[in-house]
Chain A
Amino acid sequence: GQQLNQSPQSMFIQEGEDVSMNCTSSSIFNTWLWYKQEPGEGPVLLIALYKAGELTSNGRLTAQFGITRKDSFLNISASIPSDVGIYFCAGQLSGTYKYIFGTGTRLKVLA
């Protein structure tokens, strides 16, 4: 099945550092979403992007919809310990209602 390539796979960072992760695909997407999943829970939506080139922020999180509509990135500034979790991108395939999820970025923040 289809998957989005997400990188990096995992990150260990110090509290206060900025984090950047991205998703790329060979397919075109109408919508990009970024989710966070904590252990034992389902993913929770962080940011939604609708238009190519769109840059959207949610607190310390900033995400962008790539101009080619084939990629997206997520930045987290000034990380804190509760940022720990797995971050997933998800893209809505053009012409469908289906979302394809990225392979996830596991983030660990060292206090």
Chain B
Amino acid sequence: DTAVSQTPKYLVTQMGNDKSIKCEQNLGHDTMYWYKQDSKKFLKIMFSYNNKELIINETVPNRFSPKSPDKAHLNLHINSLELGDSAVYFCASSQTAASYEQYFGPGTRLTVT
């Protein structure tokens, strides 16, 4: 019955590889988000999609490409991984783009070696 789920929970990979993280929400929400939390726990928004349309696109390297096949799913693909990409990536969803309450997934800890 998990509201927002992410896979994988942990991802260890080498520099230069390409990897994807998947997110699914079963809340019927219209809006989904990707956040990055660094080692100092700073939480920063990367992208947001509303009904499969990109509405927030922060200053993120273009190696990061979100994809929303439908409004229940938002995946994050990362090309040519770098050491600095190591972080915890959180997916979140909200009823609408204007809704204040965001429900966060459990996070994906990405380690690039």
Residues of A within 8 A of B (CB): 1, 3, 31, 33, 37, 40-45, 48, 50, 86, 88, 92, 97-101, 103-104, 106
Interface residue B90 (Cβ < 8 Å from any Cβ of A): yes
Contact of A99 among B40, B102, B103 (CB under 8 A): B102
Cα distance A3–B58 in the bound complex, in angstroms: 13
B48 adjacent to A97 (CB under 8 Å): yes
The answer for the CA separation of A43 and B106 in the assembled complex, in Å, is 9
Cross-chain contact B100 with A92 (CB below 8 angstroms): yes
Interface of B is mostly: loop
Total A-B contacts with CB atoms under 8 angstroms apart? 55
- Residue pair B97, A40 in contact (C-beta under 8 Å): no
**CB of B105 closer than 8 Å to a CB of A:** yes
Query: Shortest Cβ distance from A40 into chain B, in angstroms?
Result: 7
| Contact present for B43 and A88 (CB under 8 Å) | yes
Check B53 for interface membership: any CB of A closer than 8 A: no
Q: Which residues of B contact A (CB under 8 A)?
A: 4, 40-45, 48, 55-56, 58-59, 90, 92, 97-98, 100-107
Instruction: State in angstroms the CA–CA spacing of A45 and B106 once bound together.
Output: 14
How distant is the Cα of A98 from the Cα of B76 in the complex, in angstroms? 19
Whether the pair A1, B59 counts as a contact (CB closer than 8 A) is yes
Shortest Cβ distance from A63 into chain B, in angstroms? Answer: 13
Taking a contact as CB atoms under 8 Å apart, the answer to whether B55 and A97 are in contact is yes
A45 engages B102 (CB within 8 Å): yes
Complex contacts, B43 vs chain A, CB 8 Å: 43, 88, 101, 104
Report B100 CB to chain A, min CB distance, Å: 5
Q: Which residues of A contact B98 (CB under 8 A)?
A: 97
